[in-house]
Amino acid sequence: MPKVLTLLEDEVGDVLEKAIRQRGISVAALGEATGVSRQRIQDSLDYRSDLSCNELRRLAGALDLNEVGLCALGCCCYPRADSPKLPFAVHVVAMAHGIGCANAYVVTKTGGDVGVLFDTGPSLSALLESWPKPIAKVEAVFLTHVEGEHTGGLCDVVDYFGISTARVPAAAKAPCGQPMGEGDTWIWSGLKVTAFRTPGHAAAHNCYLVRVDAGGPALLVSGDLLFAGSAGGAFYDKTLQQTHLRRILGLCPDDTVVAPGHGPMTTVQIERRYNPFLV
C-alpha cells in the first residue's frame, strides 16, 4: 500500500505558485474564475493552506493541473513508493543549501565501493560531509544542469577523486566536463548511463537513465525536471519543461525509480498518476 510522504520538496502552495506563474494569471483572476476566495488562495501561497479538496479541484481545473494529485498534496497524503528494488545500489547524498536541500546520488554495484556520481552539490566540502562511507572511488560524474546547488563543486570533486569521466549537458557552460547529448550512452562494467536532453528548467539540462545489462528496474536521475509531487520551476521555457516532463515519463517503464534533484525518491508509476503537472 502507498505510504504517506511528509517531506516533499513542494507543498501545495508551491505547486499553485508555479502553476499560476506558468499560466500568467493573477490570484484575483484565478479567484474570480474558480469561486475560491482570493484570500484563501493567497494563504495557501503563504504556507497557510486550508483549501478543501473541492476548492483544489476547481483550482486544478483552471490551472490545468492533475486534481487527484493536487488534492493529495493538499491533505498531506501524496503517495510514495515502497522501498525501490533496483539491481544496483543508490546512495542519496543530501546537502543543505540556503533554506533548502539538494540531492546528489552515488550509484554502485550492489556491495561495491566504486561509484558513479550524479551531480556534485554546492561544494566539495558539502559533498564530503554527507558522503557514503563505503564509497572509496568515483569512476565518473554526470551533471543534470549547471546551478550552484547542484554543480558548485564540479572541478574540485573531479580533482579530489581523480575522476577521468565528467559529463555535462551539451551546450552547458561548465568547466571540467565533456558534453553529453540526447541518446549518448556511457557504459562501465555492465552499467549503462543514457542521457536525455530535457531543457525547460534550464537551457542545458539532462536526465539520465541508469540500467544494467542483466535487466531489472532502471533509475531515472531527473535533476530539476521532475520531483515527487511537483516539477522544477520552468525558468528557461515552460512549454519545453512540460513537453519533456511528459516525454520522459512516457518513455520510462512504470517501475523506474526516480531520483530528483530535490526531495524524496519516487517512481514513474506514481508520478504518471498523481503528479500535479501531468493531466
Stretch touching Fe ion by CB under 5 A, among 26-34, 88-96, 127-135, 257-265: 257-265
**Main-chain phi, psi angles of 164, to 5 degrees:** -90, -25
Residue 9 sits in the site that holds Fe ion (CB under 5 A): no
If the CB atoms of residues 51 and 168 are measured against Fe ion, the closer one turns out to be 168
* Amino acid identity at 112: G
Residue 224 sits in the site that holds Fe ion (CB under 5 A): yes
Stretch touching Fe ion by CB under 5 A, among 20-28, 51-59, 177-185, 216-224: 216-224
Least gap, CB of 232 to Fe ion (angstroms): 6
Residue with the CB atom nearest Fe ion in the bound state: 224
Residue 271 sits in the site that holds Fe ion (CB under 5 A): no
Q: Cell numbers at residue 155, please? A: 572541478
Stretch touching Fe ion by CB under 5 A, among 23-31, 34-42, 75-83, 260-268: 260-268
User: Quick one: DSSP state of residue 262?
Assistant: S
Stretch touching Fe ion by CB under 5 A, among 21-29, 31-39, 155-163, 259-267: 259-267
Distance from C-alpha of 120 to C-alpha of 144, rounded to nearest angstrom: 10
Q: Cell numbers at residue 187, please? A: 557504459
Residue 8: closest CA among 100, 138, 140, 92: 100
Least gap, CB of 2 to Fe ion (angstroms): 26
Stretch touching Fe ion by CB under 5 A, among 82-90, 162-170, 208-216, 256-264: 256-264
Least gap, CB of 94 to Fe ion (angstroms): 13
If the CB atoms of residues 139 and 224 are measured against Fe ion, the closer one turns out to be 224
Least gap, CB of 22 to Fe ion (angstroms): 17
Residues that bind Fe ion (rule: CB under 5 A) add up to a total of 2
With b meaning 16 or more CB within 10 Å and e meaning fewer, what string describes 66-103?
bbbbbbbbbeeebbbbeebebbbbbbebebebeeebbb
With b meaning 16 or more CB within 10 Å and e meaning fewer, what string describes 204-228?
bbbbbbbbbeeeebbbbbbbbbbbb
User: Quick one: DSSP state of residue 199?
Assistant: -
Least gap, CB of 106 to Fe ion (angstroms): 18
Least gap, CB of 144 to Fe ion (angstroms): 9
Q: Cell numbers at residue 255, please? A: 517501475
Sign of the CA dihedral running 262, 263, 265, 269: negative
Distance from C-alpha of 142 to C-alpha of 177, rounded to nearest angstrom: 9
If the CB atoms of residues 14 and 224 are measured against Fe ion, the closer one turns out to be 224
Least gap, CB of 168 to Fe ion (angstroms): 15
If the CB atoms of residues 148 and 253 are measured against Fe ion, the closer one turns out to be 148
Please report, as ranges, the residues that interact with Fe ion according to CB under 5 A.
Answer: 224, 261
